[in-house]
Amino acid sequence: MQNTDITIVGGGSAGLTLALLLARQQLRVVLVEQGPAPSAAAPAYNRVSALNMASRSLFQQLGIWPQLLAGAAAYTTMQVWEADSFAKIGFSAEQQQLEALGYICDNEHIRQLLYSQLQQYSNVQCYFNVAISQLKQGEREVMLQLDNNELVLSQLLVGADGVNSFVRQHMQLPLTHWDYQHTAIVAKIRCTEPHQLSARQVFLPSGPLALLPLPEPDVCSIVWSAETAEAKRLMALDNTAFEQALCAASQAVLGPVKLQSERQAFGLTMRYASSWQRGRVVLVADAAHSIHPLAGQGMNLGLMDVTALAQLIGEQQALAEDIAATAMLRRYERWRKAEAQSMIVAMEAFKRGFSAKPALAKLLRGLGLAAVDQLPLIKQQLMAYALGLKGDLPELVKNQGAVVDSLP
Ligand SMILES: Cc1cc2nc3c(=O)[nH]c(=O)nc-3n(C[C@H](O)[C@H](O)[C@H](O)COP(=O)(O)OP(=O)(O)OC[C@H]3O[C@@H](n4cnc5c(N)ncnc54)[C@H](O)[C@@H]3O)c2cc1C
């Protein structure tokens, strides 16, 4: 039997980041992951995320940023347009006086670097390839029985176990969800033209297609979200036909393309747990909310959840109070729900705004984006949200250096 302060279920980006934050706060942590430990292989860029400035600040604080940046593409411009209309808008790092607008990072590389930092802490125990046999909570502790015969007792248990969270289901935390009726196709491609470190997104009638630059100058990661029937059709095409369809859909902005990886498909669902905590159990990141990937904000949001939770736990530690106090967990829930709700609403507005097909809607979109494109102050505000620098940020990532200070 093991007694610990906090158990984290799930070793994705959120779970591992939380473990590291808590390890630095001298807490005893057990992390339980059903899959294998992060692989030490070089980044393959099969799954990537666009990290914003707030996440960058966090990873700087955690000491993994230099290595993460070495395997990332720092994009300096962003181009968003609508197919078959004049609606378009562009952003540049230079205009915002920043070195980059964001960073395309390999998801497994993020996990790997977090895990290697974690291994320096003797107060953290990670169990990989284990399943949960039992989860019970009492008044003073939570009991987790693992299928490797370990029994873990902790004061607080955190569900960081992703969209189909076992913890959320087991605790019967109610979930609101709706199907975006989109499937995202993810793949790595080689282009004929260099991407010039620009992130591109074209809104097609069936959904958005993003071309995200990777470190090689002519290699991109695509996230092609399309109505489910259309995505099925695209997935069924052979490689050559898919490459042609992709080149046409991207309006050949980077010329003809060649697939460099298998295609992976992800059905997209908005999920939002209406309660994030019960007793000594609390949810973070995708276990609490998942959103459409069109603005690349899901991981960024989850990373701020765990930073906020670690901050509030730290405040309890400083006061020698219960690290699972209901009032503190409710405060966390209110704080991060407000941020998640704003993002859910924004994603819905984007998705609906760009999928309205009538000619008048198209005209208004074109006029609206053209107008915003000419208004530097509004553009700066929009950008500050995308960079993760607006909203109620945790202390750790507030005012981190010149990058953050220079923003409106
Ligand atoms: C196509 C697509 C593109 C995206 N692009 C971006 C982007 O550009 N930028 C961005 O910010 N976000 C992006 N996201 C969102 C981002 O990928 C997620 O928000 C993020 O990975 C969630 O991290 P997490 O740690 O909460 O969950 P996960 O990464 O899902 O990790 C959960 C972990 O829990 C483990 N687990 C599950 N059940 C159990 C159990 N019972 N016991 C033990 N372990 C368990 C799993 O094995 C997994 O390792 C994208 C999402 C999609 C689908």
- Each of the 408 residues of the chain gets a pLDDT tens digit; together they read 999 999 999 999 999 999 999 999 999 999 999 999 998 889 999 999 999 999 999 999 999 999 999 999 999 999 989 887 777 888 899 988 889 999 999 999 999 999 999 999 999 999 999 999 999 999 999 999 999 999 999 999 999 999 999 999 999 999 999 898 999 999 999 999 999 999 999 999 889 999 999 999 999 999 999 999 999 999 999 999 999 999 999 999 999 999 999 999 999 999 999 999 999 999 999 999 999 888 889 999 999 999 999 999 999 999 999 999 999 999 999 999 999 998 888 777 766 666 666 665 665 566 666 666 666 666 666 777 778 777 889 999 986 544 444 444
How far away, in angstroms, is 13 Cα from ligand 1 center? 7
Rounded to whole angstroms, the Cα distance separating 340 from 337 reads 5
How far away, in angstroms, is 398 Cα from ligand 1 center? 25
Q: Is 7 in the pocket of ligand 1 (CB under 6 A)?
A: no
- The interaxial angle of helices 13-24 and 298-318, nearest 10 deg, is 20
Q: Is 297 in the pocket of ligand 1 (CB under 6 A)?
A: yes
Rounded to whole angstroms, the Cα distance separating 278 from 342 reads 23
Q: Is 218 in the pocket of ligand 1 (CB under 6 A)?
A: no
Rounded to whole angstroms, the Cα distance separating 13 from 300 reads 10
**Among 389, 382, 274, which residue's Cα sits nearest to residue 337?**
274
What atom in ligand 1 is closest to the CA of residue 165?
Answer: 38
What atom in ligand 1 is closest to the CA of residue 284?
Answer: 26
Structure tokens at 316: 């309890």
What atom in ligand 1 is closest to the CA of residue 52?
Answer: 11
What atom in ligand 1 is closest to the CA of residue 163?
Answer: 30
CA distances from 380 to 228, 343, 354 (A): 34, 18, 21
Residues linked to residue 104 through DSSP beta bridges, in sequence order: 50, 73
- Nearest-CA residue for ligand 1 atom 40 is 34
Pocket probe mutation, ligand 1, options 8, 30, 34, max atoms within 8 Å of Cβ: 34
Q: What's the pLDDT at 366?
A: 63
Pocket probe mutation, ligand 1, options 52, 299, 300, max atoms within 8 Å of Cβ: 299
Q: Is 302 in the pocket of ligand 1 (CB under 6 A)?
A: yes
Residues 6 or more apart in contact with residue 141 via CB below 8 angstroms:
153, 154, 155, 280
Class of domain 180-268: alpha beta
- Nearest-CA residue for ligand 1 atom 2 is 293
How far away, in angstroms, is 174 Cα from ligand 1 center? 20
- Nearest-CA residue for ligand 1 atom 30 is 162
Rounded to whole angstroms, the Cα distance separating 76 from 374 reads 19
How far away, in angstroms, is 187 Cα from ligand 1 center? 17
Q: Is 9 in the pocket of ligand 1 (CB under 6 A)?
A: yes
Rounded to whole angstroms, the Cα distance separating 178 from 351 reads 13
Rounded to whole angstroms, the Cα distance separating 364 from 348 reads 18
Question: Around Cβ 28, how many Cβ atoms within 10 Å?
Answer: 19
What atom in ligand 1 is closest to the CA of residue 302?
Answer: 26
Pocket probe mutation, ligand 1, options 161, 225, 268, 306, max atoms within 8 Å of Cβ: 161
Domain 2-72+105-176+269-358 matches domain 180-268 at the CATH topology level: no
In the numeric block, the tokens 């295609």 are attached to 263
What number of residues does the chain have? 408
Residue 146 burial (10 A CB sphere; 0-12, 13-18, 19+): middle
Q: Is 212 in the pocket of ligand 1 (CB under 6 A)?
A: no
Q: Is 299 in the pocket of ligand 1 (CB under 6 A)?
A: yes
Q: Is 161 in the pocket of ligand 1 (CB under 6 A)?
A: yes
What atom in ligand 1 is closest to the CA of residue 13?
Answer: 25
Give CATH superfamily name and number for 2-72+105-176+269-358: FAD/NAD(P)-binding domain (3.50.50.60)
For the chain, give every domain's residue range: 2-72+105-176+269-358, 180-268
How far away, in angstroms, is 86 Cα from ligand 1 center? 35
**CA 282 to centroid of chain Cα atoms:** 19
Q: Which amino acid is present at 27?
A: L
Pocket probe mutation, ligand 1, options 286, 300, 309, 343, max atoms within 8 Å of Cβ: 286
